[in-house]
Structure 1
Amino acid sequence: MSFSKSADEKGGPLNTTTFAAVDSDFDNSHDKIQALVAEDHEHDIKLRTMSWQKAAWLLCGDQVCLAIMAQSWSLSVLGWVPGIITMVLAGLLFWFTSITMHRFIMVHPQIRDICDFAYYACGKNKIAYEFTGFMLLANNIMLIGFHVLTGAKILNTLSDHSLCTVSFSIIVTFMGIIMSLPRTLKHVSFMSMGSAACMGMAILLFLIFAGKEAAPGYGYNGDYPTAGPVGTYAFPPAGTGFVAAMNAVLNITFLWVPQILFPTFISEMEHPKDFPKSLAVLAAVSGFLFIVPPAIGFRYLGQYATAPAFGSLGVVAYKKASFAFVIVPTLVIGVIYANVSAKFLYFCIMGSSHHAHSNTVIGWGAWAGVMVVIWFIAFIFAEVIPSMGDFLSLLGAAFDSFFGFIFFAIAYWQMHRAELFKGAWRSAKTAFHIFVMLVGLFLLGPGLYAAVEAIKADYAGSTRPAFSCADLSI
């Protein structure tokens, strides 16, 4: 499968004459950005319209998600010390790699998505562009499928399995398609406000209920008190193997790897230089939500923590009341990933045609068609893959090692290869990015091994059949 040409070779909103020479330094990127914004604002559909505040809402809408509620389980596997260290280190890596990404995009402001980023980071390599396009679609569509399945699980839980699970998945898919029709991320950012608020309410209710109830109801080792009194511990309990510990680390690490979306977000900001402000808001929100609620959850659930932690609540009413709010972020996050994926495919199809940025029947028809195809494929994945969680770990190890680490180490090298060790500060930053590369390679190697072993272990037992009506309630 071959995708469209990279940003400096394809038509559409980019003026290829003005931006033929794209390898200038950071200082003269301002004129390029202004020209790109001015050109975009001449179109019917204006993409470069987001303020940094709306971008911050969009970032929070993506990151304030159900995966936060899986972190108590990670702590139950790793214990306090390794768990908290992993969380803090992952957050620091996220911040610095995201800043590197932003600086690189400011040098190449015509970058539209992560595929263009890989193209320039790898020295205008078309193979890197094609390979990243495959990773983008595989990763995002599988994530959308996971959200379809999660939505069906929520509806199962709230309705006491009143319909076949496939029917619930169809309902979620149709809702996702309708919500995904807005073309600009500026409009999606309004949905993100409600999404983050609903997920915040779900987390708050969970913490209240976890502290209020006498004991958790369930853990992976059986019903309470099968595994003994609730307790926490500083280090992994005896018998914790490498695969279990590695999967807990991956669960933490990949929560902090949303950078696959960032180039698309930046490309729709009216002032891309302000992205660090949006990033600072996200870092502050994530730093709190990714550590404090999971730590409180681990304190009250201990070894009975499940992923998501809602499943450990012993009172059914508590479980339903908190889990109900997750339906909004489940849909909105699916919409965000669908928008980024659809833009990549849409511009591959429309190219330099005026339909790409105009209010025409063909343009809107193509956009809607691409969106339907994305959600339909995601629905199929949600129904036919027995263990979506394990497959997402597999994709995370295989792809997020690039999207969160390797690409940014390479981009840093491209920007500073002539002065990697020029002075103490530059040498320190170079050493840090070497560490980033090593982390990415570690996740790609041992991380991928752990994900494969988890899939093999799950397949050794009973698995969910395709298009099953089975009750998926937590």
Structure 2
Amino acid sequence: MSKPAATYPDEKQEPIPGYADPLDSNGESSPSFTALIAEDHKHEIKLRTMSWQKAAWLLAGDQVCLAIMAQTWSLSVLGWVPGIITMVLAGAFFWITSITMHKYIMENPKIKDICDFGFYVFGKSRIAYEFSGFMLLANNILLIGFHVLTGAKVLNTLSDHSLCTVIFSVIATLMGIVMSIPRTLKNVSFMSIFSATCMGIAILLFLIFAGIEKAPLYGYNGDYPTDGLVRTYAFPLPGTTWVNCVNAVLNITFLWVPQILFPTFIAEMERPEDFPKSLAVLVAISVFLFIVPPAIGFRYLGQYSTAPAFGSLGVVAYKKASFAFVIVPTIVIGVIYANVSAKFIYFRIMGKSRHAHSNTFIGWGAWIAVMAVIWAIAFIFSEVVPSMGDFLSLLSAAFDSFFGFIYFAVAYWQLYKGKLFAGMGRSFMTVIHIIIMFSGLFLLGPGLYAAVEAIIADYSGATRPAFSCANLSI
């Protein structure tokens, strides 16, 4: 990665924001959002232009994703009681930590991404900034790689493996690069409308087909009825391992932890104070989609649930008809993560040069080059990592523990230190954030151990070779 155009000041100063803000370069008092937005609007390419409605669509486009269809499997591992409790708690923690994040950003307007957030909450530490930057790129590029692999699976399924899987992965990668060219999240939000709609259709079709077919086709313990008639249960079945249970929890947690993107979304809003409105829309959508469809899926698939649940459908036509719509959110969500990742790199390269915010050949050339490199690396990961599902559990434990829990517990302490127990309401929220901190530490400790154990177990058996043409149809 290229070095930033402007070097980091010492600990008494603050880093110059990557959006080329010249208002606070001498370490004086932080500018307001009004000043930052006014400065941004002087540029040819304006970033801080997104309304709360467009931000809501962007959030929905990111969250209404294929991972919803993996929650049925989580319920099949945990059972109704632990599964639903985990989903509800994950949703509550998501709302609380997101509001804490927003409050902290409103106190520190210069924050433009999760790396700046880490810089501020950990005492304006350059180490925290660089560590956050590494995690941002590692998390996002691996996620983009997962979406490249998913795109190849969709195309394999729809075409009955008419081409080598590597070719399908290349097609998904090229689609992603082309769709990632827009530089503002305001433009990307338009794609999110279609992404969320297509994923909603896919989920609806799955529920209809799961309800009308006589029995599922396949589960991880064998084809129906190898494992007996379809059944549901309140608690994990006998023989369920601790590792499987923790990985099911990680699978739920992964779905509920998108905050790594939120500071960038807020930084591109014209009225950042309106972010809670966008968040409220997302929570309303998420509470329904993250619990109801998986519960219905578990009711009809029971112990035969797979991840994604489309793979358990017994009629091939049903499987193709519902899974086909997944191609749109697969690429668009990859575009969202690529946009956030590219901005982190791009503004470190461009710094305060005129190319950063202007329609110049160099500016657009650098943007497209950065985007192409991100998608190319993601493509390589999609081909050389035998089990992307296991690595998503690893990501959830290693990164979501910070970006979904620990960072925001620390931010809460920074916001209210000295008055953490000032009144019953504040005391209650302090206790909640202590629980959030310990939840993050649990994911980072036992959760990470369970994820690694799952990877070791999978690698002990047959694994998919790198750059394989093998059929990946569900």
After TM superposition, is the score higher than 0.5?
A: yes
In structure 1, the partner of 2:27 is 20
Distance, in Å, in 1 between the alignment partners of 2:19 and 2:59 is 26
Distance, in Å, in 1 between the alignment partners of 2:54 and 2:397 is 30
Q: Deviations over 1:427-470 (max 9, x none)?
A: 11111111110000000001000000000010010000000000
For normalisation by structure 2, the TM-score amounts to 0.97
In structure 1, the partner of 2:258 is 258
Distance, in Å, in 2 between the alignment partners of 1:12 and 1:266 is 13
Pairwise CA distance, 1:21: 4.1
In structure 1, the partner of 2:103 is 103
Pairwise CA distance, 1:86: 0.3
Question: CA distance change for structure 1 residues 210 and 11 in 2, over 3 Å: closer, same or farther?
Answer: closer
Pairwise CA distance, 1:159: 0.1
Pairwise CA distance, 1:334: 0.2
**For the Cα contact (< 8 Å) 1:81–1:235, is it kept in 2?**
yes
**For the Cα contact (< 8 Å) 1:57–1:192, is it kept in 2?**
yes
**For the Cα contact (< 8 Å) 2:17–2:110, is it kept in 1?**
no
Question: CA distance change for structure 1 residues 463 and 195 in 2, over 3 Å: closer, same or farther?
Answer: same
Q: Deviations over 1:265-289 (max 9, x none)?
A: 0000000000000000000000000
**For the Cα contact (< 8 Å) 2:71–2:307, is it kept in 1?**
yes
Q: One-letter code of the match for 1:17?
A: D
In structure 2, the partner of 1:191 is 191
Distance, in Å, in 2 between the alignment partners of 1:130 and 1:287 is 34
Distance, in Å, in 2 between the alignment partners of 1:344 and 1:111 is 12
Q: Is 1:430 aligned with 2:430?
A: yes
Pairwise CA distance, 1:62: 0.2
Question: CA distance change for structure 1 residues 241 and 293 in 2, over 3 Å: closer, same or farther?
Answer: same
Alignment map for 1:180-329 (pairs within 5 Å): 180-329=180-329
Q: One-letter code of the match for 1:309?
A: A
Distance, in Å, in 1 between the alignment partners of 2:257 and 2:41 is 31
Distance, in Å, in 1 between the alignment partners of 2:17 and 2:312 is 51
In structure 2, the partner of 1:28 is none
Q: Secondary structure at the match of 1:291?
A: helix
Pairwise CA distance, 1:9: 2.9
Q: Deviations over 1:50-78 (max 9, x none)?
A: 00000000000000000000000000000
Alignment map for 1:406-417 (pairs within 5 Å): 406-417=406-417
Distance, in Å, in 2 between the alignment partners of 1:18 and 1:131 is 23
Pairwise CA distance, 1:3: 5.9
In structure 2, the partner of 1:59 is 59
**For the Cα contact (< 8 Å) 2:16–2:25, is it kept in 1?**
no
**For the Cα contact (< 8 Å) 1:58–1:188, is it kept in 2?**
yes
**For the Cα contact (< 8 Å) 1:8–1:110, is it kept in 2?**
no
Distance, in Å, in 2 between the alignment partners of 1:449 and 1:2 is 34
In structure 1, the partner of 2:114 is 114
Q: One-letter code of the match for 2:220?
A: Y
Distance, in Å, in 2 between the alignment partners of 1:131 and 1:385 is 23
Q: Secondary structure at the match of 1:348?
A: helix
Q: One-letter code of the match for 1:381?
A: F
In structure 1, the partner of 2:159 is 159
In structure 1, the partner of 2:473 is 473
For normalisation by structure 1, the TM-score amounts to 0.97
**For the Cα contact (< 8 Å) 1:10–1:352, is it kept in 2?**
no
Q: Secondary structure at the match of 1:20?
A: coil
Distance, in Å, in 1 between the alignment partners of 2:177 and 2:143 is 15
Q: Is 1:149 aligned with 2:146?
A: no
Question: CA distance change for structure 1 residues 77 and 335 in 2, over 3 Å: closer, same or farther?
Answer: same
**For the Cα contact (< 8 Å) 1:9–1:16, is it kept in 2?**
no
Distance, in Å, in 2 between the alignment partners of 1:448 and 1:12 is 34
Q: Secondary structure at the match of 2:32?
A: helix
Q: One-letter code of the match for 2:24?
A: T
In the alignment of these two chains, the number of paired residues is 467
Question: CA distance change for structure 1 residues 279 and 11 in 2, over 3 Å: closer, same or farther?
Answer: closer
Pairwise CA distance, 1:2: 7.9
Q: Secondary structure at the match of 1:434?
A: helix
Question: CA distance change for structure 1 residues 210 and 2 in 2, over 3 Å: closer, same or farther?
Answer: same
Q: Is 1:9 aligned with 2:7?
A: no
In structure 2, the partner of 1:370 is 370
Q: Deviations over 1:176-205 (max 9, x none)?
A: 000000000000000000000000000000
Q: One-letter code of the match for 1:346?
A: Y
Question: CA distance change for structure 1 residues 3 and 252 in 2, over 3 Å: closer, same or farther?
Answer: farther
Q: One-letter code of the match for 1:108?
A: N
**For the Cα contact (< 8 Å) 1:121–1:407, is it kept in 2?**
yes
Pairwise CA distance, 1:16: 3.7
Q: Is 1:396 aligned with 2:375?
A: no
Q: Which runs of 5+ in 1 are unaligned?
A: 24-30
Distance, in Å, in 2 between the alignment partners of 1:22 and 1:105 is 15
**For the Cα contact (< 8 Å) 1:196–1:329, is it kept in 2?**
yes
Pairwise CA distance, 1:11: 6.4
Q: One-letter code of the match for 1:398?
A: A
